[in-house]
Structure 1
């Protein structure tokens, strides 16, 4: 895509997110100071490439899912680089509700396995930075946890999953459920997620689906998306997850959160 075509698409999407109506060449002509005839040439190319579509013969264009995925990839990976400060749960709830979004805030502070204690060959106490986890003793587990002493909890969870020690993994995850600092919009999440059960949102498992800052069809139904953003929530390092329509104006959502400081 040429820089000019990319620019026309970007401005068309911004106009669509603002208007929530099909965008015509005349509307962009006024805002971009570019002749409508020139814009229509770019529209034709974007239509051919699958980035925009025309609902009616005489109507304007709307961005496709392909266009929105491209737009949000550019925005969150190259444009958005400001550290987000969130100091009010009420304001976060208000912004999420107004924009029909699922919202989750998870404590992002690092947690390490500090000590492994053998209690009379009956129990093993896993002493983490913030709390302890008690599991039944066996020699193999005792050796394993002593080998990974000092590891960060997410690395430990990955090891347990790969070794199929799912019962131990569940015990550790249940012990750290309080890493969730804020959650709202669970009904929205249930209506847009592919999974038949969404119990995983009640702990930090949801973050495991994010191999990058954005996620689409891997987890959500068509036309929906999720975004993961590092932030400071009430002055604590945290991860914010927002999920909703791919046509939601997430840039405006983030601006609303900034203004709520």
Structure 2
């Protein structure tokens, strides 16, 4: 792995300090927080370089520096690993940490899982097996033959196909799984506060749509999906209390300390 440069270390230190304090930081203050033995005068040189490349900005002539929106985007893309499911301690911890960090969070049981297996029971029942769900239908040889060809497709895809071909019992049972209430929906006050501050309430309609989360891909979302200056995260998580896989969605200002939030809620 490439060793980070002093400029990169200084930018990281500025961002981490800013996430904690939400205040501009000066060279002397940063020098006291770092352990690299860099003088304030040298830090000021790097401040100038980072400002020139658009990573820092100075809100007031005599004030310290703050990271730009672009720098924060790069920081979160580098720091947050969404490739592995997050092991969550418990729902109460998420609820408390959501309010502490002024975020809006949804936790839903993962519904869009693969159709893994079709089991025939004594020519009486057909059992469709998913990761955490099973759907039972009355046996029908033609339906059995049809469903065998669909093993491996996603639950949502199967739900849509079942409606198209007239398998209404299957469609209703899969729809019932998708309509289950979220395990947690917390922080709507914070979401409305952001909408009011940015004079942009259009994005709230998307977040109010039942189970919009399961239609999203895992990843980070910036400008476009969310308003300028905000960030959203969709990630798989393992809820230990219930031994189940869930979808975790978080939204907030991009300068919210998402890293500390995840450190608090994970096992």
Could you state the TM-score of these two structures normalised by the residue count of structure 2? 0.72
The answer to whether 1:240 aligns with 2:248 is yes
Shift of 1:31: 2.0
1:226 equivalent to 2:232? Answer yes
Task: Report the equivalent of 2:258.
Answer: 250
Take 1:66 and 1:51, find their aligned partners in 2: how far apart are those partners?
7
Which of 10, 13, 22 matches 1:11?
A: 13
Task: From the superposition, tell whether residues 153 and 76 of structure 1 become closer, same or farther in structure 2 (CA, over 3 Å).
Answer: same
Instruction: Encode CA deviations 1:129-171: one digit per residue, 9 max, x unaligned.
Output: 435499xxxx9x99986642442315547x86xx9xxx99998
Q: TM-score, normalized by length of structure 1?
A: 0.73
- What are the ranges of 5 or more consecutive residues in structure 2 without an aligned counterpart? 121-125, 196-200
What's the secondary structure of 2:63's corresponding residue? Answer: coil
- Paired position in structure 1 for 2:123: none
| Cα 1:82/1:127, change in 2 over 3 Å | closer
Shift in CA distance, 131/180, structure 1 to aligned 2, threshold 3 Å: farther
Partner of 1:121 in structure 2? none
2:149 and 2:64 mapped to 1: Cα distance? 63
* 1:1-261 equivalent positions in 2, closer than 5 A: 3-32=5-34, 33-77=37-81, 84-108=86-110, 110-112=113-115, 127=128, 129=130, 130=133, 132=135, 147-154=149-156, 156=158, 172-173=174-175, 175-178=177-180, 180-189=182-191, 191-192=194-195, 194-195=202-203, 197-198=205-206, 201-203=209-211, 205-210=212-217, 212-233=218-239, 234=241, 235-258=243-266
8 Å CA contact 1:116–1:145 kept in 2: the answer is no
Maintained 8 Å contact 2:213/2:247:
no
C-alpha distance in 1, partners of 2:14/2:207?
Answer: 38
Q: What secondary structure does 1:69 align onto?
A: helix
Spell out, residue by residue over 1:15-38, the C-alpha distance to the aligned partner (whole angstroms, 9 max, x if none).
111222100011111222211111
CA separation of 1:103 and 1:63: change in aligned 2, threshold 3 A: same
Q: Secondary structure at the match of 1:183?
A: strand
Which consecutive unaligned segments of at least 5 residues does structure 1 have? 118-124
For 2:146 and 2:49, the matched residues in 1 are separated by 58
Change (3 A) 1:229 1:196: closer
Shift of 1:199: 5.7
Whether the aligned pair in 2 keeps the contact of 1:133 and 1:172 (CA below 8 Å) is no
Q: Is the 8 A contact 1:50 1:66 kept in 2?
A: yes
Aligned equivalents of 1:245 and 1:83: distance in 2? 23
In structure 1, what is the Cα distance between the partners aligned to 2:252 and 2:214? Answer: 16
Residue 113 of structure 1: CA displacement?
A: 6.9
Q: How many residues end up aligned between the 2 structures?
A: 237
